[in-house]
Copies of this chain bind each other. A is one copy, B any other.
Amino acid sequence: MGADFSQIKALAFDVFGTLVDYRTSIIREGQQLSLKKGLAVNWGQLADAWRGKYRPNMDRVMRGELPKMSLDALHRMALEEVLLENEIEGFTEEEKEHFNLVWHRLLPWGDSVPGLTRLKSKYILTTLSNGSTSLLVNLAKHAGLPWDLILSSDLGGAFKPDPKMYQLVLDSLNLKPEQVMMVAAHPYDLLAAKSIGFQAAFVMRPLEHGAHAVPDLTADPSFEIVANDVVDLARQLGV
């Protein structure tokens, strides 16, 4: 590739989709809820619709059309919408509140923990996520993600792809852009990081949106690394 990885000191990771499999986690908890309540729900479809509201709602917050709110609150608002749109009724307030927090209990992809553990021996590992600090801490404890640092939307006072978020990594770690590599399964995130001067590693998550979706796995030619998963990323970085 010709890229120079020797300067890299820190890896900044997107979390949702890149390291944890929210779709399978939502389906699994949803099916348990269906069993308990005797309600038939297409949980895969609900998971997609629920997650599908994330970017549009986040954009509305960024444009000031919605007040600033935590990702938990955004998820809860979106959950109410998808339940209404799919005419799903019969869950109590407590059940909805608990189910909304499934985002704190997501399962990691199988390679995430072994890959991060290898990378941690050589690099500073930080999250750079639009999740709240509280959500990211709970998720890390639940999934066993071995972070050196948690950087979140509330600590940054913004949401990716706002440049403030990438700048937060540089300010917090006292590093130059070329010393940081952004790792994500989503090209928009990597392109925003590259515009600040970060290096970029694109991780394939072909099942993020389920087996029947057609994912965008097109790597921009500017990305320094295209990796099959986090263990492959460690291998390509020589760890």
Q: Which residues of A contact B (CB under 8 A)?
A: 70, 124, 132-134, 137, 140-141, 148-150, 152, 154-155, 171-174
Contact = CB atoms under 8 A, between A and B. Distances in A.
A41 B174 CA distance: 31
Contacts of A174: 70, 132, 134
Given A154-B171, A154-B172, A172-B155, A140 B148 contact: yes
- State the oligomeric state as a number of copies: 2
A124 B150 contact: no
B173 A149 contact: no
- DSSP class of A's interface residues: helix, strand, loop or mixed? helix
Nearest to A135: B174
B148 A137 contact: yes
A124 B149 contact: no
14 contacts: A124-B137, A124-B141, A133-B149, A133-B172, A133-B173, A134-B172, A134-B174, A137-B149, A148-B150, A149-B150, A150-B150, A154-B172, A155-B155, A155-B172
B124 A173 contact: no
Contacts of A140: 148
A132 B70 CA distance: 25
